[in-house]
Chain A
Amino acid sequence: MRFRASIENADTFFRIIQAVEKLQKKCIMKFSEDVMYIICNSEANEGGIQVWSQIKVDSLFTSYRIQSNASNVITMALSSEALLATLKSASTSSKSAYETEEIVMKLAKKNDQAVLSFEISGMTRQGRKVRVAHDVKIEVMKPADVANLKEPMCPEPDVHIILPPLQKLRPIVERLRPMSDFLGVRANNNGRLQLSIRTDTVNVDTEWKNCKNTNRASTASQDSEPDRDPDELFSVLVSTKSFFKFLNSHVVSTTTIACICRDHCMILYVYVGDLADAGGVLTFYIPGQLIDE
């Protein structure tokens, strides 16, 4: 089992892990020949939120080499917190004492413990060379366990809508969070999006018009019945905390598409980089909550 790569885009990698770390302290990373998958699927997550993300290897790494018996795929479980700390010291955006020149990430074994070892070499302001090494303990997963990892099954969504910038959504949901545990998300195929809470003391509805609807180009089938009323609102009730955790991905997002499967779940595609030339996508699944309104 061999694995080695240079991290070209440490800032983006840092921000992706930042979004993931807020959700779950441990995550699963699966490296294949051209895609890196980050999976958070713990049952214990608040409101059952899951993340399944795919990042193109080219958008983060160079000199990427991978070899394993499981058709060149390596799957590992590791602490997202530790990974975040490592990337923070490697990222140029942090106020570190040195300029990062090269970051090499590789699989290694130290004292019988599998680690993901990061070697950061850089230059201080005084022009001295520095080398910083971080080892993040990992647990390589058996192919049988990997096969058990299944993305949640969802029906064909009723509506796809491009969300307003997540930085704008976040303060609003932040206000709503203490007021209600459940957040109603509604959208129609005519650019309308609503976030609402209903409690004994207050009802709050925030509405956007002029959002864009999309059908995901790749999977879009032409069977979206044209006779459907575009103004019909599809709604799903999700845990406010889960939705707020999803909004932590605002650090990395450019475009976010929300899909609503009425009364079932919500799927959020957070694109890293431009929609057209997306380096990757973080997919959040937030299950719908059933309570009597």
Chain B
Amino acid sequence: MSQNGEESEEVHLPPVLKASVHDVRYFAALLRGVNFVNRATVTITKTGFVVVVEEARTLLATAYIFADIFDEYTYNSESPAAPQDSQNSEPEEEDNSAFEIPLNTLIECLNIFGTAGSSGSAAGAGAATGKYKKWKRGGDDSDQEGDDDDAHGRRSSNGTGGNKSIDHYFGNAADKGTGMRMTYAGSGFPLTLLIAEDAAGPTTTCEITTYEAEANLQLPFEPDRMVLKIILKSSWLRDALSELDPSCDKLTFIGNPPPAVINGKQRQQPRLANGTPMLRIQAAGTFGSTEMDYPNDRDVLETFECTRPVTFSYRFGHISRTLRALQSSTKTSLRIDDEGLLSLQFLMPSPKAKAEAAADAFIEFRCLPLDDELV
């Protein structure tokens, strides 16, 4: 009833977006993962929405939030003439609505009752093993399609596996979260949120101004130019990055092709025969430098593909932007192409109990290397 404001609009046109969820924590955690610059571009499509944030024309963070994390999700195209083909590989041609929004404000609004704080992700972190086997195994599709395939792949794997941790269920039921209903009437209208904790408590209505979307930085990652690909448990990377001193200014990833497998034994060796590491993370700052080597162990590096020796450096300030997303994710895919473009994808486990329906959302960071390090 507090929505009186846009009720009149709905008479003329159905709102472009209508979504509701009974617990905003997962949604808030996904947004928080890319919340390092206040202005975010939100693109709404039939299958969910994409939140893009960029910094310094170098770092691009994207959160893919699928429609099925919401209890209700309705998208009505703003331009009815547009083709309803969401499989188009060019995002510009997709049927979508895009706007810019102050992301921090959106998150603060979701957390207005102080109940959207921690997501159920902590519970998910421990229960990751063996669940997301299908994630990015293909890796050869172009990216836009890859995302779609992934969603389907995971859906089916979840369905057959049926091994969602029981923690998810209890974690969800134990503490009641904040429910939300979100509407977006269309270009020029604010994003309206209706937030309530329970029926007896207060209700909050937020109208967040939306701005016309500006073209974002495009950093396409061509799979056939990929020179390094690693899939590992997020905690392995998180522990490494959080170990580093914040005063570091440069972070270098060094990868070397693994030795040819003769028998299983070689895989256990942290270094190659000539002493070069398979994967090394090296950080340098004013006060010194840190080197961390990963062993080539299936338990650590689930996938390790490296076609030739690579060394690329990035600003530590940019890489550390990923920490928040990393913290709530279970699995990370790290890829680097021949020009040093870094792509980090973080799988964000969904806390939903109904495993069949929920596709796990993910957050992707792409970062350009420091120029002087081009090899």
Q: Residues on A close to B: CB < 8 A?
A: 164, 168, 171-172, 174-176, 178-179, 200-208, 210
Question: Is the interface on chain B under 10, 10 to 19, 20 to 34, or 35 or more residues?
Answer: 20 to 34
Q: Nearest 5 A-B pairs (CB), nearest first? A: A171-B114, A206-B204, A203-B207, A208-B202, A205-B205
State whether the Cβ of B165 lies closer than 8 Å to any Cβ in chain A.
no
**In the complex the two chains form, is A202's CB within 8 Å of B203's CB?**
no
**In the complex the two chains form, is A202's CB within 8 Å of B109's CB?**
yes
Known: A175-B108, A179-B108. A202 touches B102 (CB 8 A): yes
| CB-CB nearest in chain A for B200 | A210
**A164-B202, A179-B108 given; 12 more Cβ-contact pairs under 8 Å:** A168-B202, A171-B112, A171-B113, A172-B113, A174-B114, A175-B109, A202-B207, A204-B205, A204-B207, A205-B204, A206-B204, A207-B203
**In the complex the two chains form, is B202's CB within 8 Å of A202's CB?**
no
| CB-CB nearest in chain B for A193 | B202
Q: Report A46 CB to chain B, min CB distance, Å.
A: 21
Partner of B206, one of A200, A203, A208: A203
Q: Report B363 CB to chain A, min CB distance, Å.
A: 24
State whether the Cβ of B309 lies closer than 8 Å to any Cβ in chain A.
no
Q: Report A208 CB to chain B, min CB distance, Å.
A: 4
Cβ contacts under 8 Å, A172 to chain B: 112-114, 202, 204
| CB-CB nearest in chain A for B106 | A202
16 inter-chain pairs at a CB distance below 8 angstroms, sorted by A residue, are A175-B108, A175-B111, A178-B108, A202-B102, A202-B105, A202-B207, A203-B205, A204-B112, A205-B204, A206-B202, A206-B204, A206-B205, A207-B2, A207-B203, A207-B204, A207-B205
State whether the Cβ of B209 lies closer than 8 Å to any Cβ in chain A.
yes
State whether the Cβ of B295 lies closer than 8 Å to any Cβ in chain A.
no
The docked-state distance in angstroms from the alpha carbon of A176 to that of B195 is 14
Q: In terms of DSSP, what is the predominant structure of the interface of chain A? A: mixed
The docked-state distance in angstroms from the alpha carbon of A206 to that of B114 is 13
Cβ contacts under 8 Å, A204 to chain B: 109, 112, 204-207
Q: Report B35 CB to chain A, min CB distance, Å.
A: 14
Partner of A179, one of B105, B111, B202, B203: B105
The docked-state distance in angstroms from the alpha carbon of A164 to that of B113 is 13
| CB-CB nearest in chain A for B109 | A204
Cβ contacts under 8 Å, B111 to chain A: 175
The docked-state distance in angstroms from the alpha carbon of A175 to that of B206 is 12
| CB-CB nearest in chain B for A178 | B108
The docked-state distance in angstroms from the alpha carbon of A291 to that of B333 is 52
The docked-state distance in angstroms from the alpha carbon of A6 to that of B293 is 67
Cβ contacts under 8 Å, A179 to chain B: 105, 108
The docked-state distance in angstroms from the alpha carbon of A178 to that of B200 is 27
| CB-CB nearest in chain A for B101 | A201
State whether the Cβ of B159 lies closer than 8 Å to any Cβ in chain A.
no
The docked-state distance in angstroms from the alpha carbon of A208 to that of B113 is 13
Q: Report A22 CB to chain B, min CB distance, Å.
A: 19
Q: Report A168 CB to chain B, min CB distance, Å.
A: 8
The docked-state distance in angstroms from the alpha carbon of A174 to that of B109 is 11
Q: Report A60 CB to chain B, min CB distance, Å.
A: 32
**In the complex the two chains form, is A202's CB within 8 Å of B113's CB?**
no
Known: A171-B113, A172-B113, A206-B112. A201 touches B204 (CB 8 A): no
**In the complex the two chains form, is B209's CB within 8 Å of A200's CB?**
yes
**In the complex the two chains form, is A201's CB within 8 Å of B202's CB?**
no
State whether the Cβ of B190 lies closer than 8 Å to any Cβ in chain A.
yes
Cβ contacts under 8 Å, B206 to chain A: 202-205
Q: Report A200 CB to chain B, min CB distance, Å.
A: 7
Q: Report B191 CB to chain A, min CB distance, Å.
A: 9
Chain A CB count within 10 A is highest, among B2, B108, B200, for B108
Known: A175-B108, A175-B111, A207-B203. A202 touches B209 (CB 8 A): yes
State whether the Cβ of B19 lies closer than 8 Å to any Cβ in chain A.
no
| CB-CB nearest in chain A for B2 | A207
The docked-state distance in angstroms from the alpha carbon of A207 to that of B208 is 17
Q: Report B116 CB to chain A, min CB distance, Å.
A: 10
Cβ contacts under 8 Å, A206 to chain B: 112, 202-205
Chain A CB count within 10 A is highest, among B113, B200, B202, for B202
The docked-state distance in angstroms from the alpha carbon of A178 to that of B104 is 11
Q: Report A19 CB to chain B, min CB distance, Å.
A: 20
Which residues of B202-257 are within 8 A (CB) of A? 202-209
Cβ contacts under 8 Å, A207 to chain B: 2, 202-205
| CB-CB nearest in chain B for A203 | B207
| CB-CB nearest in chain A for B104 | A178
The docked-state distance in angstroms from the alpha carbon of A18 to that of B200 is 31
Q: Report A43 CB to chain B, min CB distance, Å.
A: 32
The docked-state distance in angstroms from the alpha carbon of A200 to that of B207 is 10
**In the complex the two chains form, is A201's CB within 8 Å of B108's CB?**
no
Cβ contacts under 8 Å, A175 to chain B: 108-109, 111-112, 114
Q: Report A165 CB to chain B, min CB distance, Å.
A: 11
The docked-state distance in angstroms from the alpha carbon of A70 to that of B112 is 51
Cβ contacts under 8 Å, A205 to chain B: 2, 204-206
Q: Report B103 CB to chain A, min CB distance, Å.
A: 11
Cβ contacts under 8 Å, B108 to chain A: 175, 178-179
**In the complex the two chains form, is B202's CB within 8 Å of A203's CB?**
no
The docked-state distance in angstroms from the alpha carbon of A179 to that of B112 is 12
Q: Report A245 CB to chain B, min CB distance, Å.
A: 19
Q: Report B170 CB to chain A, min CB distance, Å.
A: 25
The docked-state distance in angstroms from the alpha carbon of A242 to that of B200 is 28
**In the complex the two chains form, is B112's CB within 8 Å of A202's CB?**
no
Cβ contacts under 8 Å, A164 to chain B: 202
Cβ contacts under 8 Å, B202 to chain A: 164, 168, 172, 206-208
Partner of A201, one of B2, B105, B114, B205: B105
The docked-state distance in angstroms from the alpha carbon of A268 to that of B112 is 23
**In the complex the two chains form, is B190's CB within 8 Å of A203's CB?**
yes
Cβ contacts under 8 Å, A202 to chain B: 102, 105, 109, 206-209
